[in-house]
Structures are given as structure tokens and as C-alpha cells.
Amino acid sequence: MLCKKQKLVEIDLFNYFKELLKEMRRCNRCIMDDVADKYIVFDEAGYCNYCSNTLKQLGTVYFPNVEGEGRLKNLISEIKAQGKNKKYDCIMGISGGLDSSYLAYLGHLWGVRVLAVHIDDGYDTEISKNNIKKLIDKTGFDFEVITPDAEQFNDLTLAYMKAGVPNIAIPQDNILNAFLYQKVKEYNIGYFLSGDNFALECIMQKGNTYKSRDVVNLKDIHNRFGRKPISNLLFMSTLQKEIMELFHTVKKVTPLNLVDYNRERAFRELNDFCGFEYYGGKHLENILTAFIQLYWFPKKFGVDKRKSHLSSMIVSGQMTREQALEEMQKPLYEEKQMEQYMSFIKDKLGVSDEEFSNLLNVEPHQHQDYAIEDDTITYRIIRALYKLVH
């Protein structure tokens, strides 16, 4: 008779081989699948919930048509009218990637006065730096750069890696947003133009990520794994953002949803406009972000972000499913380039080869494994403030 320990080993081996032999199920319309995704479900036709739900939004979120032209014309008029007698009509973040760069280019064509903001966290690629310079020189936009305290920023990023959580780009995102809203207040800017869009981002795998404005979560991760103070870094919580939008009447809008936003055409137009260069793929304009997308997510969580990006392009009509599947056959990254990226990151974080290897092998955790903000209390306060103002 097997002892209890032997039975557990036997069960573990059974589950291991069961998972090993399990056939991956992939959507018949997009290329989302059930690898490392507990949230995906399929209907009788074999279509997944991601593309099915997204297609329902086509006529309510994305307007690449005459209706969009009308909506955009009205939006631009509102932005200019609201910005009258102010230094700027609007503010936008510039990453050096396609979405924000194309939006800046369009803003220039629309004739709106833009304050462009960039976070230089020390991880920009050379192509990205050059693209930003070319774009700003050509548009003539006022341009402000935030350079976070390098020692504190890198220690916080290192703390996220030690915590083993998926979204180690949260410090970068939070600090940029905090700076953006600081400038909104300083210049009394009425509109924040965001590069968020339906065409290239309508499908995003659920799970293995977390919101960037949970400062409770951020500080708990830092308290557990950080080695240096973060007193020189500016953060923004969910509540602070809502208060800013409520009392300073800044409005976040997504103009790329009001145009026929085509990826290849956007690259061509930007190249013709200012010599904009391709940087390798979505969100790969930053070395840290590229490492997260191409290595951290796949190796630690089994998540290949290309599935979401390519599926979005299928839904928005920019790619066929066959073309997307062909794209998925390509390697995630070039070995030599990833070695260079990791060497760069190791230097920035101040860790040895052995320490970095240990970070890559740290046990995976979700952000919710650490302290998180109480959404109930946060939104109760927001509702009370809204009623007070209105």
C-alpha cells in the first residue's frame, strides 16, 4: 500500500502529465488561447469571450468613419474653446512609441497647443530618444521631461522584481501620471489627450497585471523588498486622480478612437513627417518595458502579450487570423539583443549576474498577494465628493 507521501507524489505526477498532455484551445476568430489564462471562455462556435465582447463595442467606442469625423471635429473645437486664454489647450504623454507619437502628430495637424510630457527613467532605447527629438522638433510643442531619482526609482523597480509580481512597470506608469496631473494643475489644463485606443489595444488578456495607481500596494511592496527610501519620487493614488479630475475639471479623452487608426499607415505618416523609425514592436520603445513584455511575462507567468496585440488587430480589421498565426511563429526576441537588454538592466539595478538570475527565478506572485487599497472606501469618498460638487 502507498504511504500518504507516495500518494501525493503520484497525484502531483498525474496532474503534471495531465497538464502536459492537455490540448491548447485557441479561439476560432482571433488568436487568444487558454494557455496561462483562467478567464478565457469559448462559445459553441469556438469564439472566445475577448473578441466576442470587443466586437460588441465597435459601434460604441471606435468610430473610424464619418461619425468619428464629426465627433473629432466637435472635440477639437471643445479643446480649443476650453483652452482659450490659457497657455495650453491640452497635455499628452510622449513615450516614443507609436500610439503617443501618432497622437502628437495628429495634434499638430489639428492645430492644438500641446504640452508634451515624457518620463526619462533611464531605460529609453536610442531609437526612442531619436524619435522623440524628431517629433518635438517638427511639431514645435513645448516639452517637459521628468527624470525620477535614479537610485530610488531603480530600487523600487528592483523591489517589484523581488516581489515576483507581473507588472513591474507600475512605478514608471504611476510616476508619469503623477507628473502629468501636476502639470495639469500648474497650467490649469482642461484636456488630457491619451494614446489609449481600440484599434491596437481592444483585447487584453485578463489577470497577471494590476492597476498602476494603487499606492497602498506600491508602498507595501517597497516596505517588504526595498532597500532605499522613495521620498524623492512623486506618486498618484486612485483617489488623488479622481479628486484632480473632479476639482480641476481635467478631462481625459482618446482621440485615436475617432479616426481610422491603422498601424502601418501611422508608421508611414510619421516617417514622412519627421523620419520616425520602427523600434521593434508594441511597447518595445523602452528597454525595461521590452524586457517585461518579451521575457518577464512569458518566462514567469506564461503570458505572451503578442496574442493580445495581434488579436486586437484582427478585430479592428488590420490583420487576418492567418497572418497573426504566422507572426506568432517568429521568436519572441533575438537572444543577443535580450542579453544586451538584461546586461543594461543589471547595471541600472546594481545587481550581479547571480542576483539577477535569482530574481528571474523568484516565486511568481500576484499583486493581490500584498496589501491593496480598499476600493469600497475609495469610491465611497469619490461619490461623496461628487455629490458635494454637483
User: How high is the pLDDT of residue 22?
Assistant: 57
Nearest one of 196, 195, 156 to 175, comparing CA atoms: 156
Query: What is this structure's pTM?
Result: 0.90
Residue 363 DSSP symbol? P
User: How high is the pLDDT of residue 390?
Assistant: 63
Mean pLDDT of 55-77: 96
Domain architecture of the chain: domains with CATH: 53-389 (3.40.50.620)
Mean pLDDT of 33-42: 96
Residue 283 has pLDDT above 90, yes or no: no
Mean pLDDT of 279-299: 87
Band the pLDDT of 268: cuts 50, 70, 90.
very high
Name the least confident of 70-84, 266-280, 373-387.
373-387
CA-to-CA distance for 9 and 105, rounded, in angstroms?
60
User: How high is the pLDDT of residue 241?
Assistant: 84
User: How high is the pLDDT of residue 381?
Assistant: 72
CA-to-CA distance for 202 and 187, rounded, in angstroms?
32
Cβ-proximal residues to 212 (8 Å cutoff; 6+ apart), any chain: 167, 170, 173, 174, 177
Residue 368 DSSP symbol? G
